[in-house]
């Protein structure tokens, strides 16, 4: 080949290098038979291309496997973000997605979704009494049971705490009610925790959605129905009705107002005498709070104390009652020459007993007002101390050490166990008024009350009966040897001024005729 004639293999080489640089790594150049320097370069380029191709393949494989790992991690994260770690059920986010999807389907002509919201009735008790591990196991069991009453296409979710939801993506009210009833049934069976059996009953709210709703509206409606179920009683199913929204609004308005009630000075205290049955001597008074609402008038505590507990206002409320009533007691002691053993009885909620500084608060007030601790009795409901939490026991023991009397209120309505009463630092038991209601009319009730009285005495405690409304009841209790009591028969709870006037005028209540109409003043 002459020098001015170009070797065609050079052109092929250039072309091949261009292809390689374009990424066509499989491109090769056929060496010639000349086996000269150019062929050596061609072979070198081919080897490099081979090497490049292999490295690239390995690289691709690595990228592929890393991408798969990333994809899996993403899926896992999605799953974690969409499910509840404890039960493996869908979580709120996943539920809302599913509701949205079902509502979209309904907008395109499918049946509307039904949403069931479930709240366990006494889950807090399980946690308090048996610990959080036990609580977790109950929640897991509930998840299993709820899964057993639905189909694959339905969504069971845990919304947090002891609140669950079931979404039936395309449903009718009939189907929704069937599922709700089955859920109630499976949850009605006790859950076994080692040697213990506990209940996992629930209240259920049901709402059949409409295509026009947003997922949030559907959830709120179902929640409102569940709320109504809870308020009406335990273990029931309630179907959403628009009027429920109204009462809920009213309640939330009341909650807002209640938050301001203390500072607006709208709480008032009434005082109901507790008397010695043998002599009608006034032993003391129970403080009962009322809410003087600017528009709604005088609201009884049964209406707002549970609300106060729910919204966390009870702490301030109880502290206010304690301090205002002790101040009242100090004024009476100064002005009225009360008996030395006169007792002011103040109701304390379960929440208050859990406050570490409760004892300090009481001690400081007593010191400031120069009141003997013996003049104060705190009334605590059975349910508040049945769990015997450490702080509760600390509060009770410290109050007792201070000299404050401790009384179990509403005895006979809850866990009533004399053996546990014996172990608690309490000195008195107030028997709930429901035990007296049928005293005159129901055969056997008298014996029952007598037996309760004996049990309380056997535990070394004193019994006080509340809700005495008739002369017969007072006579019967006196005949049984019951020492003290309170009720409309002796006196209704009175505003401070009237209570003061009563205490100023007499030490002994003169009761003539018993009353059945509580609006009629029984005092002469
Ligand atoms: P409780 O401590 O068991 O109070 C006794 C309730 O029975 C009072 O209702 C009282 O007015 C009522 N009562 C008294 N005699 C009779 C009677 O002869 N017949 C009938 N049918 N009822 C009678 P009230 O004042 O409505 O209080 C209800 C509950 O509210 C109280 O029950 C107590 O648990 C709670 N409460 C009241 N004041 C306070 C407070 O300051 N703090 C807390 N935490 N709870 C309070
Ligand atoms: Mg009470
Ligand atoms: Mg009571």
Higher pLDDT, 412 or 224: 224
Whether pLDDT at 500 is above 70:
yes
Q: What pLDDT, on the 0 to 100 scale, is given for residue 183?
A: 96
Give pLDDT tens digits for 120-136.
988 887 887 788 898 99
C-alpha 227 – ligand 2 centre gap (Å):
27
Whether pLDDT at 513 is above 80:
no
C-alpha 336 – ligand 1 centre gap (Å):
25
C-alpha 326 – ligand 3 centre gap (Å):
20
Nearest CA to ligand 1 atom 7: 467
Give pLDDT tens digits for 69-118.
988 888 888 878 889 999 999 999 999 999 999 999 999 999 999 999 99
Q: What pLDDT, on the 0 to 100 scale, is given for residue 1?
A: 53
Beta-bridge mates of residue 166: 116, 156
State the pLDDT confidence band at 415, using cuts at 50, 70 and 90. Answer: low
Whether pLDDT at 42 is above 70:
yes
Q: What pLDDT, on the 0 to 100 scale, is given for residue 324?
A: 97
Range with the largest mean pLDDT of 29-38, 47-56, 279-288? 279-288
Range with the largest mean pLDDT of 66-75, 225-234, 277-286, 506-515? 277-286
Nearest CA to ligand 1 atom 8: 288
How confident is the model over 52-59, as a mean pLDDT? 91
Whether pLDDT at 144 is above 50:
yes
Give pLDDT tens digits for 430-454.
999 988 887 777 777 888 888 888 8
Whether pLDDT at 509 is above 90:
no
Whether pLDDT at 291 is above 80:
yes
Q: Which of 6, 1, 31, 4 is nearest to 16 (CA)?
A: 31
C-alpha 506 – ligand 2 centre gap (Å):
24
Q: What pLDDT, on the 0 to 100 scale, is given for residue 519?
A: 37
Q: Which of 169, 184, 155, 176 is nearest to 84 (CA)?
A: 155
Higher pLDDT, 185 or 448: 185
Pocket test residue of 288, 434, 487, 499 for ligand 1, highest count of atoms within 8 A of CB:
288
Nearest CA to ligand 1 atom 4: 288
Name residues contacting ligand 1 (CB within 6 A): 272, 288-289, 300-302, 305, 318, 321, 347-349, 379, 409-410, 433, 466-469, 486-488, 493
Whether pLDDT at 243 is above 80:
yes
Which ligand 1 atom is the nearest neighbour of the CA of 486? Answer: 15
Whether pLDDT at 34 is above 60:
yes
Q: What pLDDT, on the 0 to 100 scale, is given for residue 337?
A: 83
Q: Which helix (H) or strand (E) holds 191?
A: strand 191-193
Which ligand 1 atom is the nearest neighbour of the CA of 348? Answer: 44
Which CATH code is given to the segment(s) 92-240? 3.30.70.270
The answer to whether the CB of 190 falls within 8 A of the CB of 198 is yes
Q: What pLDDT, on the 0 to 100 scale, is given for residue 387?
A: 66
C-alpha 124 – ligand 1 centre gap (Å):
25
Q: What pLDDT, on the 0 to 100 scale, is given for residue 239?
A: 97
Nearest CA to ligand 1 atom 37: 288
Give pLDDT tens digits for 345-362.
999 998 898 888 999 999
Place domain 257-505 in its CATH homologous superfamily. Answer: EAL domain (3.20.20.450)
Whether pLDDT at 22 is above 90:
no
Q: What pLDDT, on the 0 to 100 scale, is given for residue 517?
A: 42
Q: Which of 296, 284, 298, 352 is nearest to 320 (CA)?
A: 352
Q: What pLDDT, on the 0 to 100 scale, is given for residue 414?
A: 63
How confident is the model over 313-334, as a mean pLDDT? 96
Residue 498: CA count within 13 A, CB half-sphere: 12
Share of the chain above pLDDT 90, in %: 57
Average pLDDT, rounded, for the chain: 89
Pocket test residue of 434, 466, 489 for ligand 1, highest count of atoms within 8 A of CB:
466
Pocket test residue of 301, 406, 490 for ligand 1, highest count of atoms within 8 A of CB:
301
Q: In what order do the strands lie in the sheet with 155-160?
A: 155-160, 163-168, 114-120, 202-208, 237-239
Beta-bridge mates of residue 465: 431, 485
Q: What pLDDT, on the 0 to 100 scale, is given for residue 218?
A: 96
C-alpha 255 – ligand 3 centre gap (Å):
24
Cα separation, 417 vs 411, in Å, equals 9
Could you tell me the CA-to-CA distances from 227 to 210, 214, 230, 390 in Å, in that order? 20, 20, 5, 31
Whether pLDDT at 386 is above 80:
no
Q: What pLDDT, on the 0 to 100 scale, is given for residue 2?
A: 54
Residue 118 dihedral angles phi and psi, to the nearest 5°: -125, 135
Which ligand 1 atom is the nearest neighbour of the CA of 352? Answer: 44
The answer to whether the CB of 204 falls within 8 A of the CB of 181 is no
Nearest CA to ligand 1 atom 13: 467
Q: What pLDDT, on the 0 to 100 scale, is given for residue 252?
A: 86
Q: What pLDDT, on the 0 to 100 scale, is given for residue 523?
A: 40
Q: Structure tokens of 490?
A: 């002796």
Nearest CA to ligand 1 atom 17: 467
Which ligand 1 atom is the nearest neighbour of the CA of 314? Answer: 44
Give pLDDT tens digits for 469-490.
999 999 999 999 999 999 999 9
Nearest CA to ligand 1 atom 15: 487
Give pTM, 2 decimals.
0.69
Per-domain residue ranges of the chain: 8-70, 92-240, 257-505
């Amino acid at each position: 080949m002459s020098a001015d004639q170009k070797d065609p293999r050079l052109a092929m080489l250039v072309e091949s290098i261009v292809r390689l640089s374009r990424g066509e790594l499989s491109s090769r150049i056929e060496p010639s038979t000349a086996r000269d320097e150019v062929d050596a370069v061609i072979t070198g380029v081919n080897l490099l291309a081979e090497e490049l191709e292999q490295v690239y393949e390995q690289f691709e494989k690595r990228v592929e496997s890393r991408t798969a790992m990333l994809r899996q991690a993403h899926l896992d994260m999605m799953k974690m973000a969409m499910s509840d770690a404890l039960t493996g059920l869908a979580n709120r986010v996943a539920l809302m997605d599913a509701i949205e999807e079902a509502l979209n389907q309904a907008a395109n002509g499918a049946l509307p979704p039904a949403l069931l919201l479930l709240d366990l009735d006494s889950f807090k008790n399980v946690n308090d009494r048996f610990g959080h591990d036990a609580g977790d196991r109950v929640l897991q069991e509930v998840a299993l049971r709820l899964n057993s009453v639905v189909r694959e296409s339905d969504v069971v979710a845990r919304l947090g705490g002891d609140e669950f939801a079931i979404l039936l993506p395309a449903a009718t009210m009939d189907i929704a009610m069937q599922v709700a009833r089955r859920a109630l049934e499976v949850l009605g069976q006790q859950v076994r925790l080692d040697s213990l059996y506990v209940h996992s009953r629930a209240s259920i709210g049901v709402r059949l959605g409409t295509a026009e709703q947003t997922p949030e509206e559907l959830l709120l409606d179902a929640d409102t129905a569940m709320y109504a179920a809870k308020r009406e009683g335990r273990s029931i199913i309630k179907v959403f009705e628009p009027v429920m929204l109204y009462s809920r609004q009213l309640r939330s308005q009341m909650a807002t107002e209640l938050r301001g009630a203390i500072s607006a000075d709208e709480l008032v205290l009434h005082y109901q005498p507790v008397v010695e049955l043998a002599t009608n001597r006034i032993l003391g008074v129970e403080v009962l709070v009322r809410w003087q609402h600017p528009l709604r008038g005088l609201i009884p505590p049964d209406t707002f104390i549970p609300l106060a507990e729910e919204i966390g206002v009870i702490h301030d409320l109880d502290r206010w009652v304690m301090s205002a009533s002790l101040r009242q007691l100090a004024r009476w002691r100064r002005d009225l020459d009360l008996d030395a053993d006169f007792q002011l009885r103040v109701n304390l909620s379960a929440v208050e007993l859990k406050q570490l500084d409760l004892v300090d608060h009481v001690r400081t007030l007593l010191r400031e007002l120069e009141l003997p601790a013996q003049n104060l009795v705190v009334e605590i409901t059975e349910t508040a101390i049945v769990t015997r939490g450490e702080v509760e026991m600390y509060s009770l023991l410290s109050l007792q050490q201070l000299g404050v009397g401790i009384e179990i209120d509403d005895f006979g309505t809850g866990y009533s166990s004399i053996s546990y009463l014996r172990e608690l630092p309490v000195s008195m038991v107030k028997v709930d008024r429901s035990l007296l209601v049928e005293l005159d009319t129901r055969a056997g009730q008298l014996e029952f009350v007598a037996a309760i009285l004996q049990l309380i005495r056997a535990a070394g405690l004193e019994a006080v009966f509340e809700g005495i409304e008739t002369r017969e009841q007072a006579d019967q209790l006196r005949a049984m040897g019951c020492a003290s009591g309170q009720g409309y028969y002796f006196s209704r709870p009175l505003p401070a001024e009237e209570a003061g006037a009563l205490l100023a005028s007499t030490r002994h209540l003169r009761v003539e005729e018993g009353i059945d109409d509580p609006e009629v003043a029984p005092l002469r």
